[in-house]
Structure 1
Amino acid sequence: MTEAEMEAIVLAFPGAEKGQSYGQPAFKVNGKFFTRLRAEDSSLVLMDVSFDEREMLMEAEPATFHLTPHYRDYPCVLARLESLHPGSLRNFLARRWRRIAPKKLVRAYDHAEAGA
């Protein structure tokens, strides 16, 4: 996936916008961290991934999913952009978005999806 494709997927979530996290370019929803692309290794930080799920992902797809010592104690995984499937990215982001988006926005989104 390209950076432009990733950005289009991220910004398609209602309320998603460009911002900063710890001085780095990032994406936020409702002022909360959504994801960011790490320039040092072209990997996305994907939040709300349990430690067990993370271990399974890294074992099943080591070319895509990995971790650095900094993220070891956080419920997240790093995913290399070049090998991350767009559908997988949408699924990871949907989980995070539902957790941090305003509940009213989530209800409106769900209602619109049900009517589609």
Structure 2
Amino acid sequence: MVTEQDVRRIALALPETAEKSMYGTPAFYVRGKWFARVKEEGDRLVLPVGSVEEKAELIAAEPAKFGTTPHYDGHAIVLVRFAAVDTAEMSELLADAWRLRAPKRLSTDLDD
């Protein structure tokens, strides 16, 4: 099970990441663009994904891990349950979300 502290440690290890508050909860940004936010309840992480179709596939394949709320309908944003993932998987999810929001050159540097 992942904790908020695990998410913070993983996210802040990514290049040029900063933590700021969003809607009163911790959120993580790369060069001013958010890529992850802890949900108000503290048990889920809000993450952008590549497309609405990718979101639907994740939720259909693993509904115990991934979900959504009506607020995010029509948006390429998924909720990840802390209790359903380990740190390795959360690291991959955060890196993918970071890549979606980071400038191309910075993203390329991470992949090198």
Q: Which residue of 1 aligns with 2:64?
A: 63
Identity of aligned residues (%): 40
AA in 2 matched with 1:84: V
Unaligned runs of 5+ in 2: none
Change (3 A) 1:42 1:13: same
Could you tell me which runs of 5 or more consecutive residues in structure 1 were left unpaired when the two chains were aligned: 112-116
Which residue pairs with 1:99 in the alignment? Answer: 100
Q: Provide the TM-score with structure 2 as the length reference.
A: 0.82
Q: Which has the larger radius of gyration?
A: 1
| RMSD across aligned positions (CA) | 2.0
Moved more, 101-110 or 25-34: 101-110
> What residue in structure 1 maps to residue 46 of structure 2?
45
Pairing 1:4-83 to 2, within 5 Å after superposition:
4-40=5-41, 42-83=43-84
Q: Which residue of 2 aligns with 1:85?
A: 86
Per the normalisation by structure 1, the TM-score is: 0.80
Structure 1: which amino acid aligns with 2:15?
P
* Equivalent pair of 1:48/1:76 in contact (CA under 8 Å): yes
